Amino acid sequence: MNLRANQPAVKEIDGLATDEQGAVFPGSPAGTPLLVRDNVLRVEGGGHRISVPELWNELSPERGVHVVHADTLRSNLTRFSRLLSDTFARDTLVAWALKSFPVQAVVNELAKEQCGADVGSLQELRMALAAGIPGRDIICTGVAKSAQELRAIVDCGATCVLDNADEAAALESIAASAGRVVAIGVRVNPEVATPTHAMIATGAIGSKFGVPIGAAEDFVAAVAAHAHLRVELVHMHIGAHFYHIDPESFARAINREAELVSALHRRYPIRRVDIGGGFRFPFLAPRQARQMGMDDERFHLVTQPDVLERTMAILSQRVIDMPSDIQVVAEPGTAIVCGASFSLGQVLAVRELARLDSPLDGRKIGVGWVLGTASTAEFILRAGVPNLLNQTCIADKAEERDFAAGVGGPLCFAGDVLSPPGFYLRMARPRPGDVLCLANTGAYIGCGFNFHNLPRFAVALMERDGNLRTVRRAEPENPMAHVEAA
């Protein structure tokens, strides 16, 4: 069926970007070592190359699986820690944002590298403690905390970040009853807008996060007046950077925070400054950025495989000095886990809408939709940043490019799409049953939702010796049955 007359202009992107050796962008060290050989996608682990179709067969998932590459995960943390220390030339702590991949095995792997944790709930706090992360290295940044969560913070000796008087009063009461003094972080809003999606921008004027920086000194004084609260940390976070990145805005926000810390340091026992997270991952290869119309100077950094190193280099030149005894804390999430995972789903159906001349190479190709088991229920980041591009291919036809597809899931709403809106991904013509691979998916998976009561994917870990281990089973066919009270 040819629907050319009803089709909008076709905008294509290469679904998969590889280098001359077949390595999938961005390659190591930021990304899992996925590479294409003889038309088949493969992954390196423990000195071996395993074909992704064989990996699928070994794991035999019912609907799909997220695969975590332990070597990449741990090396990303080590690399970030080194860059942070080199940038600020002082004592530093990487408090990994646990919300970015809340699976216990992932927390355990990163805890082996002596990281701290940024946690946003009682449940995340318990996961961090179960992994052996000491309370002194846990930063509790939840926006509004229950009494149960506050008691747990007091019990384990973590730092409680707050930005409102009600939480300070509640925590004072709990700490007094326990006879303990609690380390406090005060979250400030530096009032620096950053060029990112509105749903993940947290540092602009009017944000729900943080005390306006102009009112911060008075707020700190009010918190410090509580007998059982000791203000030790100043915290900020201006939002996550995905397709846009502006190190100058980040540096300006850090400098505002540093000036506040220098003023407070003379009166309060401030020993830490937390610069938040939002450090980006390089999703787009340069060719893909050009195809999406993102090839001007604003997007120069986002296509660089070493974007983290380049960003840190800019920060090191722009950030002012703070008192030498102040520890710098950072809360990376995406930068650590995004490239350390790839996700596999299964093609259920293919809908060809037309056969058209490709704007990329002039070939006559099919254009339509690939519909499968992978959905936005697994990738909640899509709700905030729908125009993200994961490197995407059919695992056993990775080099073929005879179809241009929108990639959609099985959910009954128009936003259940895994390709950037308005673009078709150039890939092989799929068949039902084919294994669809999305690379660089590690940020904010393992924490999705159960729309249509569908079970969420399993999570597997590829250990450093190349062995595969399921670390979170797929949910049962009816994932809510055990909590129903009909």
Q: What is the pLDDT of residues 353-395, one digit of tens each?
A: 999 999 899 999 999 999 999 999 999 877 667 778 999 999 9
Dihedral, CA atoms, 452, 455, 456, 462, nearest 10 degrees?
Answer: -160
Residue 305 has pLDDT above 60, yes or no: yes
Q: Give percent above pLDDT 70 in the chain.
A: 92
pLDDT digits (tens, 9 = 90+) for 12-37: 999 999 999 999 999 999 999 999 99
Average pLDDT over residues 62-69: 97
pLDDT digits (tens, 9 = 90+) for 99-143: 999 999 999 999 999 999 999 999 999 999 999 999 999 999 999
Confidence category of residue 177, pLDDT binned at 50, 70, 90: very high
Asked if residue 93 lies in contact with residue 403, where contact means CB atoms within 8 angstroms, the answer is: no
Q: Which of 115, 156, 160, 412 is catalytic?
A: 412
Tally of CB atoms within 10 A around 121: 17
Report the C-alpha gap between 181 and 284 in whole angstroms.
47
Residue 253 has pLDDT above 90, yes or no: no
Look at 381 and 325; give whichever has higher pLDDT: 325
CA distances from 383 to 159, 228, 329, 341, 439 (A): 30, 40, 28, 19, 18
Report the C-alpha gap between 391 and 50 in whole angstroms.
18
Q: Judge whether 412 counts as a catalytic residue.
A: yes
Confidence category of residue 160, pLDDT binned at 50, 70, 90: very high
Identify the CA nearest to 389 among candidates 278, 289, 308, 309: 289
Average pLDDT over residues 71-97: 96
Asked if residue 178 lies in contact with residue 154, where contact means CB atoms within 8 angstroms, the answer is: yes
Confidence category of residue 197, pLDDT binned at 50, 70, 90: low
Residue 1 has pLDDT above 50, yes or no: no
Look at 313 and 131; give whichever has higher pLDDT: 131
With tokens 């390709």, the residue in question is 419
Residue 478 has pLDDT above 80, yes or no: yes
With tokens 């905390």, the residue in question is 145
pLDDT at 39: 98
Look at 251 and 93; give whichever has higher pLDDT: 93
b (16+ CB within 10 A) / e for 193-229: bbebbeebbbbbeebebbbebeebbebbeebbebebb
Average pLDDT over residues 276-286: 89
Domains and CATH numbers, the chain: 4-69+339-483 (2.40.37.10), 71-338 (3.20.20.10)
Q: Degrees (nearest 5) of the Cα angle 369, 371, 374?
A: 135
Average pLDDT over residues 395-410: 97
Look at 166 and 482; give whichever has higher pLDDT: 166
pLDDT at 174: 99
Look at 24 and 47; give whichever has higher pLDDT: 24
